[in-house]
Structure 1
């Protein structure tokens, strides 16, 4: 996965994006899962957007669930990223 991660999101690009990502916020009602690797999620989002892959067909090699990637994409889009 590291090869795919660095190819889709090179270190220089990640350094530009990482500070702009909103911090993880736990759900107020509790439950859910622990925060995941933001770079893995961002890479999965880049993959979906550049390939036209459906969110539900996101390969498991990205290390994140399709629903998580889509939810973060929605949040990041709402804040203007």
Structure 2
């Protein structure tokens, strides 16, 4: 059994998405740089925090960062 190490190549993206693999790759790169989801997440947290709807003492920050091992090594 092989081990998938790099995900799916852009050129294998199904046509059902309605854009070329080049367009999809470019948009993901632009969105990653612009960080729209991080900005929206921060806005939601700010709104919930201002309303007192977040119990900050119970919040957890996970800073774990582990290198994925390839195969059975």
Shorter-chain TM-score: what band?
Answer: 0.3 to 0.5
Larger radius of gyration: 2
Compute the TM-score of the two structures, normalised by the length of structure 1: 0.34
